[in-house]
């Protein structure tokens, strides 16, 4: 009975080691790939288009703004547009 349990535990340990090795390889592969910001991905996909930084700020591909910051940004953009007309 003890031998069977020991054999079972050894099999489980080997299975865990295999899974760990797979996860470690995947982690290494992820570390080797360079993360690309959403803004850079857009530039690469659409090199002929310019991207207004104010629009980027509002649509949410930059880090999220607090509600107060978002309201301030909207007010500034509206004020700039109204000043032009």
Domain count, the chain: 2
pLDDT of residue 63: 61
Are 41 and 80 found together in one domain? yes
Query: Does the global pTM surpass 0.75?
Result: no
pLDDT of residue 62: 58
Are 82 and 68 found together in one domain? yes
DSSP annotation string for 16-32:
HHHHHHHHHHHHHHHHH
Range of the domain at 54: 37-85
Spell out the per-residue pLDDT of the chain, length 85, in tens: 788 888 999 999 999 999 999 999 888 887 777 777 777 888 888 888 887 777 776 666 656 667 788 788 888 888 888 887 6
pLDDT of residue 54: 74
Are 29 and 41 found together in one domain? no
Are 22 and 48 found together in one domain? no
Q: Are 57 and 51 in contact (CB under 8 A)?
A: no
């Amino acid at each position: 009975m003890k031998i069977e349990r020991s054999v079972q535990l050894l099999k489980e340990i080997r299975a865990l080691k295999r899974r760990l090795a797979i996860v470690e390889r995947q982690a290494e592969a992820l570390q080797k790939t360079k993360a690309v910001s959403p803004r850079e991905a857009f530039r690469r996909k659409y090199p002929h288009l310019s991207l207004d930084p104010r629009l980027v700020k509002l649509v949410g591909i930059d880090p999220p703004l607090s509600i107060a910051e978002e309201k301030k940004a909207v007010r500034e953009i509206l004020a700039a547009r109204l000043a032009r007309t």
